[in-house]
C-alpha cells in the first residue's frame, strides 16, 4: 500500500465517512515535517508526514492538541488521526484557513492563553512524554516544580549538551545553577498549569475570523511563566497580547528574572539541535541567573 492510500483510509476510518484524496497541496512554514492540505470528498485536512519512527511524536502531538481542545479556552486544530507504515508517519488535523489579525485579535490571544493557564492539574508533567522540536521531552509527573524543572527540563538538556560536547565552563555553571535556582522561585506560588510548551511566534496565528489559534504544542502542566517567557524569546507577540494577558492573569514579582530560567531550556535545546552560538547564549544566560541568586 502506498503512503497516501493508507492516509486516505486512516482519515476515512477516523471520520467514519468515505474519503478520497482529490488534491494534495504542500503547506510551507513548518520546521520539521512535510505538510499538506489534503482535500477530497467535499472536505479538507492538514496532514504532516515524517519518517516512520516519528509516529510516536505525532501521537503525542495529537494528544496535546486534544488536551488543549478539551480546555475550551483557545482554538487549536482538532486532531483527526495519526499512524505510520513502512514509508512514513502521519498526523491529520482539521484544516484551518489562516487569515490575519483583526484589531482585537492579539488581545484575544492574550486572554485565551491566560484562560488556558487557569486550567490546572494536581501534579507537574503530563500523562505521557512528548518532544520539543526533534528532542525528546520527558514529562514524568512530579509534585514539586523545582524538582521537575531540575530533572526533566534543565538537567535533561544539560546532560544532552554534555553528550554533544558542550564547553566545560557552560556545564560547570549549569551544575551550579541546577543546585541553586530554586531560590529564584521563592514566593511566586507556582501551580501546575496547562501549557502549550513551544509557544514561539511560528506556532500561533489567527483564523479568517481573526480568532486566535495555537498549534504544534509540546503540552505539559507547569509554571505558566514558562509559556509566556517563550513568547518573548524569538518575538512575534505584540503589546496588546501582553497587556491582555497581564490584565486577565497578573504576573508575580520576579518574572523578568525567572523568564531567563525558563528560556534557558529552549536555548539549551537549540544548542542540542543546532550547536553553534547557542552554547555562548546559554552560558551568558546562566551567568545572569547566577548573579541574581
Instruction: Please tell me which residue in 97, 144, 180, 198 is annotated as part of the active site.
Output: 198
Q: Cβ 175 to ligand ADP, closest distance in Å?
A: 32
Measured from the CB atom, the residue of 231 and 260 that comes closer to ligand ADP is: 231
For residues 137 and 219, what is the distance between their CA atoms, to the nearest angstrom? Answer: 10
Tell me which DSSP letter residue 90 carries: E
The reply to whether 129 belongs to the active site is: no
Q: 19, 200, 206, 215: which one contacts ligand ADP (CB under 6 A)?
A: 215
Among positions 186-205, residues that touch ligand ADP (CB under 6 A) are 202-203
User: Per CB under 6 A, which region of 65-73, 87-95, 235-243, 259-267 contacts ligand ADP?
Assistant: 87-95
- The x, y and z cell numbers of residue 142, run together, are 512530579
Among 74, 93, 177, 219, binds ligand ADP (CB under 6 A): 93
Residues 8-47 that bind ligand ADP (CB under 6 A): 27, 29-33, 35, 46
Residues 6+ apart with CB under 8 A from 228: 113, 245, 251, 255, 259
**Helix locations, 166-277, DSSP H:** 168-180, 224-233, 239-248, 255-274
**Least distance in angstroms from the C-beta of 114 to ligand ADP:** 23
- Using an 8 Å Cβ cutoff, are 48 and 35 in contact? yes
Residues 139-178 that bind ligand ADP (CB under 6 A): none
Would you give the end-to-end CA distance of the chain in angstroms?
A: 59
Asked whether the beta carbons of 235 and 263 are under 8 A apart, the reply is no
User: Is position 216 an interface residue for ligand ADP (rule: CB under 6 A)?
Assistant: yes
Q: Does 57 bind ligand ADP (CB under 6 A)?
A: no
Catalytic positions, written as ranges? 198
Amino acid at each position: 500500500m502506498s503512503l497516501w492510500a493508507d492516509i486516505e483510509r486512516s482519515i476515512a476510518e477516523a471520520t467514519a465517512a468515505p474519503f478520497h484524496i482529490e488534491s494534495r497541496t504542500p503547506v510551507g512554514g513548518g520546521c520539521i515535517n512535510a505538510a499538506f492540505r489534503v482535500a477530497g470528498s467535499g472536505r479538507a485536512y492538514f496532514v504532516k508526514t515524517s519518517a516512520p519512527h516519528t509516529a510516536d511524536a505525532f501521537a503525542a502531538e495529537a494528544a496535546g492538541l486534544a488536551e488543549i481542545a478539551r480546555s475550551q479556552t483557545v482554538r487549536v486544530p482538532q486532531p483527526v488521526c495519526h499512524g505510520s507504515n513502512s514509508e512514513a508517519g502521519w498526523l491529520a488535523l482539521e484544516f484551518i484557513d489562516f487569515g490575519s489579525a483583526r484589531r482585537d485579535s492579539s488581545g484575544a490571544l492574550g486572554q485565551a492563553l491566560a484562560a488556558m493557564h487557569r486550567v490546572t492539574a494536581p501534579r507537574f508533567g503530563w500523562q505521557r512524554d512528548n518532544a520539543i522540536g526533534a528532542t525528546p521531552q520527558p514529562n514524568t509527573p512530579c509534585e514539586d516544580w523545582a524538582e521537575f524543572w531540575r530533572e526533566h527540563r534543565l538537567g535533561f538538556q544539560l546532560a544532552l549538551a554534555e553528550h554533544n560536547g558542550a564547553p566545560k565552563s557552560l556545564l560547570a555553571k549549569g551544575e551550579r545553577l541546577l543546585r541553586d535556582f530554586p531560590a529564584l522561585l521563592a514566593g511566586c506560588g507556582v501551580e501546575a498549569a496547562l501549557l502549550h510548551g513551544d509557544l514561539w511566534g511560528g506556532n500561533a496565528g489567527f483564523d479568517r475570523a481573526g480568532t486566535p489559534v495555537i498549534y504544534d504544542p509540546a503540552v505539559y502542566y507547569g509554571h505558566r511563566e514558562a509559556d509566556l517567557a517563550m513568547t518573548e524569546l524569538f518575538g512575534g507577540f505584540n503589546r496588546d497580547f501582553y497587556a491582555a494577558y497581564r490584565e486577565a492573569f497578573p504576573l508575580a514579582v520576579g518574572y523578568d528574572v525567572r523568564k531567563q530560567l525558563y528560556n534557558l531550556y529552549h536555548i539549551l535545546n537549540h544548542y542540542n539541535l543546532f550547536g553553534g552560538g547557542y552554547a555562548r547564549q546559554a552560558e551568558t544566560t546562566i551567568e545572569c541567573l547566577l548573579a541574581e541568586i
